[in-house]
Amino acid sequence: MPISKQIQSLVKDYLDDCSSINKVCGPKSDQVEKLEASAESINASRGRPLFFKYVGSGRGQGPYVELEDGSVKLDLINGIGIHILGHSHPKVLETTVTASLSDAVMQGNLQPNKEYKEILAKLTQISSKHSKLKHAWLCPSGAMANENALKMCRQKTNGSRMVISFNNAFAGRTTMMAELTDNDSYRQGLPRYNDVLRIPFYDSKNPNSSEESLAAFKEHVEKHRGDICAFMFEPMQGEGGYRVAPREFFIPMLEICRKEGIPVFLDEVQTFCRTGQFFAYETLCLAEYVDVVTVAKTLQNGATFYTEDMNPKPGLISGTFAGSTVALAAGLQVLEELEQGYMGPEGKIQKIHDSFTGMLKNLNETTCKGLVNEVEGLGLMVAFTPFDGSKEKMLELVKRLFDNGVMGFGCGSGPFRMRFLLPAILTDEHIAEIKTILEKTLLEIKG
């Protein structure tokens, strides 16, 4: 039998085996100890406990994932934004099994295979369609993509140090990205380089928000003219609380960047593919201003996009690993699938957004008044402020929801918020099931 037929048969057998994973359920009594032992082993090996007592069995279907104890959860965080098509998507499965038979486990920028070529071609086709981003460079993670982008910006500005960024920004976990991240708890014990100039992000409750941010921006430019390498920001803040700003908020600052020759660097590691367009800069109509853009997560890999003008000199960016063969192939398959009716104002992503946010607002207007506040987000990224917005209440909701069968996560820092990274395969039936569990959980905590 040809290999392709064997792969199709294998994938079918696996999907048949997972077909019963179609609703939330509790653990199986004879498998509880297995999960306990696995979690304890992980905790001991890394010296700190898992946030959730979560060790997957390797089986799942759509938004559902099975744990080692046989329990099934609705996964609304999907690896913090990786599994945009949910678990065990048939086309992605077939692609990854096929790619796993390649001669090379990892591909690099020195020795690429066809998967490297194909995903780069797709990425630059998507990026150059609505912007000046003609080129892309692959790497294994979002943090590394951001490091490459920052190096490009500093080289372009002749070694300028300073980066203008927003309050509550998040950029990754490397030493420099921790500096760009506005959260002291993420850099305990690290030296401070004082390379970041902060400005307030948009605050819908403050009528003077735009003017105050612009004034701070102008002040930094005036004080550090000639030593600013980039204006770096997330088009919609992720870890900072899933906060959204209108296009008009950004434009005056971007016009100053254009006038002053300050590169505009957008971190789309989390927003890529999730806002109803492939890039959030498209959703916000900012394409004409962007010079460098980074992505990861949904891509199953990392990538830095850049204009011809930002093309770095040889030797500045490289790296042994560009990504695993499986990740590169899977990322391409995800992009091709998302081109099939998911994007645009009438696409599946926007419909999921409208249905999910409508469900949250309905809860706040009916049975859970005052418990589901400030529903906000774009596309598949949705958050709300639970209860009084305290860290304690947010964490209690996250943990209790997990126990009841729905996986979400926290974000923000005053107020603290409940966030969801929704898979693009959610149906109205899934959302109805989520509503039932969320309502039950909120009322349990309210008491």
Q: Are 444 and 397 in contact (CB under 8 A)?
A: no
Q: Are 162 and 228 in contact (CB under 8 A)?
A: yes
Q: Are 239 and 186 in contact (CB under 8 A)?
A: no
Residue 227 tokens, joined: 């030593």
Predicted local distance difference test score (pLDDT) of residue 1: 73
124-138 pLDDT, tens digit each: 999 999 999 999 999
Sign of the dihedral defined by the CA atoms of residues 216, 217, 220, 223, in that order: negative
Q: Tell me the C-alpha distance between 274 and 76, whole Å.
A: 13
Predicted local distance difference test score (pLDDT) of residue 99: 97
50-104 pLDDT, tens digit each: 999 999 999 999 999 999 999 999 999 999 999 999 999 999 999 999 999 999 9
Q: 164 φ, ψ to 5°?
A: -90, 130
Single-letter residue type at 248? E
Q: Is the pLDDT of residue 349 over 80?
A: yes
> Residues 222-248: what's their mean pLDDT?
96
- Domains of the chain in start order, with CATH, are 17-91+343-446 (3.90.1150.10), 99-338 (3.40.640.10)
396-408 pLDDT, tens digit each: 999 999 999 999 9
Predicted local distance difference test score (pLDDT) of residue 329: 98
275-298 pLDDT, tens digit each: 999 999 999 999 999 999 999 999
DSSP-assigned letter for residue 385:
E
Predicted local distance difference test score (pLDDT) of residue 342: 98
Predicted local distance difference test score (pLDDT) of residue 145: 98
Predicted local distance difference test score (pLDDT) of residue 35: 97
pTM of the full structure = 0.96
Which pLDDT band, with edges at 50, 70 and 90, does 447 fall under? confident
Residue (of 377, 365, 346, 79) closest to 237 by Cα position: 377
